[in-house]
Chain A
Amino acid sequence: MKKTSFVTGFLFAAGFLFAAIGTARAAEKVVVYNWTEYIPEGVLDEFTAKTGIEVEYATYESNEVMYAKVQLQKGKGYDVVVPSGYYISKMRKEGLLAPIDKSKLSNFKHLDPNLLNKPYDPDNQYSIPYTWGSTGIGINAEAIDPKSITSWKDLWDPKWKGSLLLTDDVREVFHMALKINGHSGNSTDPAEIKQAYELLKTLMPNVLVYNSDAPREPYMAGDVNLGMIWNGEVIQAQQENPDIQYIYPKEGAAFWVDSFAIPAGAEHKENALKFIDFMLQPEIAKRCVEFIGYATPNKSALSLLDEKLRNNQTIFPPAEVIQKGDFQQDVGEAMEIYNDYWQKLKTGN
């Protein structure tokens, strides 16, 4: 008996000891919650090597999932999150984000003013842009002639029955239908959304799979040859298979900016600022473009980029293409309408 209680006691003591070490080290860490495959390899280690701050890294595959977790914990638990613009505005209004002290960001000056001070966050009080990109059409040129596809509407062709990929993102999917109907991808008008839903219903027989985890994978595996995709995913896929290409649909692509933000309840705000500043270095921003294939808002990084990448229109589309598309914005209460229809669509109704 003596022995047992000794062992138990020892285990308890050990447990407390580890817990104590855990909290002692917690001061030197930053918890980053980012999209899947959204950071170049090795960058986190370099950050730790340079600053001594451990990075606890977790990933999500949709704004909704990230928001659900941050909101549930009242903005605690994470120190850096990377919401899309329309989620920045939503979270900012709900008091879930902490203001960012830009005077502590020595590399803020590198950012392109064109991508700052947007309606979703005037004066960038709560967000620092990380990357921007678009949702357009992905195609495998080996299977389908890329010239034959020019618009979102082409996806509705009955010959694609049971073969398309859609991103698992309600706003992006509705963007297609809204644009085909000639409306804004940020519509809050219930009638327009309903009309888009009716149109999307007729697309459902063509849909094989929803994927927002790594939409390039089904293209690369040869399971899908046509559908929606993000431009950066195409750039990543092309390193293995150059036949996978990106098309900016003529109705207009959906554009988004993903920004660093600090949740209101973050426990390591100083470390979070250090992390963001680290990521804003032109050299790091350049590697982000090279690795994840999305455009950077970092002006100084552009000049460091290889000319081939800088002139790649999949990453950096010409002005008229951007003009035709819509930058995603918060749709407020209308989100409920979108979500209702979305659940119906995904159930096959």
Chain B
Amino acid sequence: MSQSPFRRFIIILTLAWLALFVLAPHFLVVLTSVMTPDSEHLAVWPMTLDAYARIWEPLYADVFWQSLALSAKATLICLLLGYPFAYIVAKMSPAWRAFMMFLMIIPFWTNSLIRTYAIKLLLGNKGLFNWVLEAIGVIDAPIQMIYTEFAVVFGLTYILLPFMALPLISSFDKLDKDLIEAGHDLGAGFWQRFYHIVLPLTMPGVVAGCLIVFLPAMGMFYVADLLGGAKNLLLGNIIKNQFLVVRDWPFGSAFSVTLIVIMGMMLWLYYAANKKVQRMGGLDDQNL
């Protein structure tokens, strides 16, 4: 009990921190999104839902879909690379695993903006990739990679891959090896074991990884700015431009709120998936 004042202090500090730096800004964003844009005061009353109506204009709907598609591509590639990677890492001896985790963390020591600049050097017309491809005779003239959608997906995948791998590794960790062995003993082949046992049990990791990759991907405006040639490719570019260039804060806020709502819906999906797995995970489940 002697620790309780200190504990209370920490809890209050944390709550105050969250309230001040998470809750209040989000509240302001929601508030701004229903205000009327004004060139002098940025946003004024009366309340209006104009900004939300404008999101559905064909122009922005285009960006929305484009952004979803780009993020989905990056997420899918992260999953395809991250899943086997997580499986291999989870099977390693603890020492090797610690080393692999360490390797994955190292890039975070460098600011992601700087790493994005480095990618520019790789993908340029006179960059490393084109140089190697030309040197080994695969291509005659440089392929345009930088400032294309490919470059953006490449950058997003590179930056976000660890966020996919980490939850997957922890999912594979929790995977009960006995279940796989039991499946094997009962005559299930590799794919059957994978599809009926491994995949359902690692599904929470898959969903968590996809969530952590997909949403930030739509907001990473600097990746689209640097690698995609500063066209309006991602929702993040639209939001940034609305705030800084056009100075229509209500509209920019409405976009942010829409993103938050999507995030909320996906979290709900995650929750639902988790619950389903817990049900299936019981030994009395008929699927096993």
Contact = CB atoms under 8 A, between A and B. Distances in A.
A348 interface: yes
A72 B42 CA distance: 8
Given A1-B5, A223-B146, A347-B63, A339 B229 contact: no
B244 A349 contact: no
Contact of A343 (B243, B246, B247): B246
Contacts of A4: 6
Interface residues of B, number: 30
B204 interface: no
Given A168-B230, A211-B230, A349 B62 contact: yes
Contacts of B238: 343
B40 A94 contact: yes
A62 B62 CA distance: 26
Contacts of B230: 168, 209-211, 346
Q: Which residue among A4, A65, A221, A343 has the maximum number of chain B CB atoms within 10 Å of its CB? A: A343
Contacts of B3: 1
A119 interface: no
Contacts of A168: 230
Interface string B1-27: 011011001000000000000000000
B124 A223 contact: yes
B59 A223 contact: no
A343 B230 CA distance: 11
Contacts of A71: 42, 247
Contact of B125 (A65, A221, A347): A221
A286 B9 CA distance: 59
Nearest to A65: B244
B140 to A, nearest CB: 16
A208 interface: yes
B52 interface: no
B245 A65 contact: yes
B278 interface: no
Interface in A304-349: 339, 342-344, 346-349
Given A68-B244, A343-B241, A210 B63 contact: no
B131 to A, nearest CB: 11
Contact of B229 (A5, A62, A209): A209
Given A162-B144, A210-B229, A346-B232, A221 B62 contact: no
A64 interface: yes
Determine which residue in A5, A94, A223 has the highest number of CB atoms from chain B within 10 A of its CB, and name it: A223
Nearest to B147: A209
Contacts of B231: 207, 210, 346-348
A222 interface: yes
Interface string A213-257: 000001001110000000000000000000000000000000000
A64 B2 CA distance: 56
Contacts of B5: 1
Nearest to A217: B120
A205 to B, nearest CB: 12
Interface string A156-186: 0000001000001010000000000000000
28 contacts: A1-B2, A1-B3, A1-B5, A4-B6, A5-B6, A64-B245, A65-B245, A68-B243, A68-B245, A71-B42, A71-B247, A94-B40, A207-B229, A207-B231, A218-B147, A221-B125, A222-B124, A222-B126, A223-B124, A223-B126, A223-B146, A339-B245, A339-B246, A343-B232, A343-B241, A347-B59, A347-B232, A349-B62
Interface of A: 1, 4-5, 8, 62, 64-65, 68, 71-72, 94, 162, 168, 170, 207-211, 218, 221-223, 339, 342-344, 346-349
Given A209-B229, A221-B125, 5 more contacts: A168-B230, A209-B147, A221-B124, A223-B147, A339-B245
Interface of B: 2-3, 5-6, 9, 40, 42, 59, 62-63, 120-121, 124-127, 144, 146-147, 229-232, 238, 241, 243-247
